[in-house]
């Protein structure tokens, strides 16, 4: 898929992977819409993405077509999500939304410090509401506005399949959201994919992860170069991406 004039929606775009995705997709010439709950942090991320698009354009890429817009929205609230989708649908040079990255997520405890049986009810509920129901709401509202060749991408991690002690509701939510993506893959025309960049240096992770700007290119590849046969309903990890792009 050529991203020139395509519309890309990224939730949870004010920090970490989401922030890097705004810049990466803008540098490809897309019309990018990002959302977050923190309006000030989102404004900073939007400014960085616009600068990335400008730099790419000066270097001769197709990024002169890029636009970057921010919308304050909470994926826990379906009315916010519906409003967000309406705005994204009106953005860009094509009908509909071509790529959605349902990235918004929370993690309420440090890694290893949240045994599942000790999770408070309110913390468990908010984790599931954000990390699982938020992705469901994003898919439910967005898919009718996406072309059949559209891509719905959801970040995840090894914790969804290889459980470690003390990961609590966060691990449960990631395992559940991967099941949601697999169900989408058999129920909808669009390509639905889990993208696992392994440990990334974000506010939600333990220290020592990869730079978000590096792993953002995994998502660009999954949105543009990967075929549906390769990734629909699949769990695309770092090794898969590196193997697919090794000849570059």
Helix, strand or coil for residue 69? strand
Q: For residues 18-22, give the mean pLDDT.
A: 96
Kindly report, residue by residue over 75-92, the tens digit of the pLDDT. Answer: 999 999 999 999 999 998
Residue 92 exposure: Cα atoms within 13 Å on the Cβ side = 28
Q: In terms of C-beta density within 10 A (0-12 exposed, 13-18 middle, 19 or more buried), how is residue 59 classed?
A: exposed
Residue 225 is assigned to a structural domain of this protein: yes
Task: Answer whether residue 120 is part of any domain.
Answer: yes
pLDDT classification of 65: cutoffs 50, 70, 90? confident
Rounded to the nearest 5°, which phi and psi values hold at 164?
-115, 155
Convert the pLDDT of each residue in 44-57 to its tens digit: 999 999 999 888 87
**pLDDT at position 61, please?**
66
Nearest to 226 by CA among 153, 155, 140, 139: 153
Asked whether residue 240 is assigned to any structural domain, the reply reads: yes
Q: Which helix (H) or strand (E) holds 152?
A: strand 151-155
Q: CB burial class (10 A; 0-12, 13-18, 19+) of residue 233? A: middle
Residue at 2 is within a domain? no
71 assigned to some structural domain = yes
CA distance linking residue 88 with residue 66, whole number of Å: 14
**Domain assignment present for 157:** yes
51's enclosing H/E stretch is helix 39-58
Q: How far apart are CA 150 and CA 9, in angstroms?
A: 11
Q: Is residue 70 part of a domain?
A: yes
Residue 44, domain extent: 7-244
Does 164 reside within a domain? yes
Q: Residue 42 belongs to a domain with what CATH number?
A: 3.40.50.720
Structural domain count, the chain = 1
The length of the chain in residues reads 248
Per-residue pLDDT tens digits for 3-14: 988 999 999 999
Q: Tell whether the model's pLDDT for residue 223 goes beyond 80.
A: yes
What's the pLDDT at 194? 98
Query: Model confidence over 195-221: pLDDT tens digits?
Result: 999 888 777 766 677 888 989 999 999
């Amino acid at each position: 898929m050529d991203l020139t004039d395509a519309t890309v929606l990224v939730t949870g775009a004010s920090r970490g992977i989401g922030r890097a995705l705004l810049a990466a997709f803008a540098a490809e010439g897309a019309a990018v819409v990002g959302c977050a709950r923190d309006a000030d942090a989102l404004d900073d991320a939007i400014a960085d993405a616009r600068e990335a698009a400008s730099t790419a354009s000066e270097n001769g890429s197709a990024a002169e077509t890029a636009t970057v817009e921010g919308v304050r929205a909470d994926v826990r609230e379906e009315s916010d999500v519906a409003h967000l989708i309406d705005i994204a649908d009106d953005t860009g040079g094509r009908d509909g939304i071509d790529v959605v990255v349902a990235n918004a997520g929370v993690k309420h405890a440090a890694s290893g410090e949240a045994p599942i049986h000790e999770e408070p009810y309110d913390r468990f509920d908010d984790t599931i509401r954000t990390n699982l129901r938020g992705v469901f709401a994003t898919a439910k509202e967005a898919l009718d506005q996406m072309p059949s060749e559209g891509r719905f991408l959801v970040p995840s991690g090894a914790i969804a399949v290889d459980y470690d002690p003390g990961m609590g509701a966060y691990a449960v939510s990631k395992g559940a959201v991967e099941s949601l993506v697999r169900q989408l893959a058999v129920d909808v025309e669009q390509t639905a994919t889990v993208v696992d960049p392994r440990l990334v240096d974000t506010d939600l992770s333990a220290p020592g992860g990869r730079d978000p700007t590096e792993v953002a290119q995994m998502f660009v590849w999954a949105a543009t170069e990967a075929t549906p046969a390769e990734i629909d309903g699949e769990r695309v990890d770092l090794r898969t991406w590196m193997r697919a792009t090794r000849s570059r």
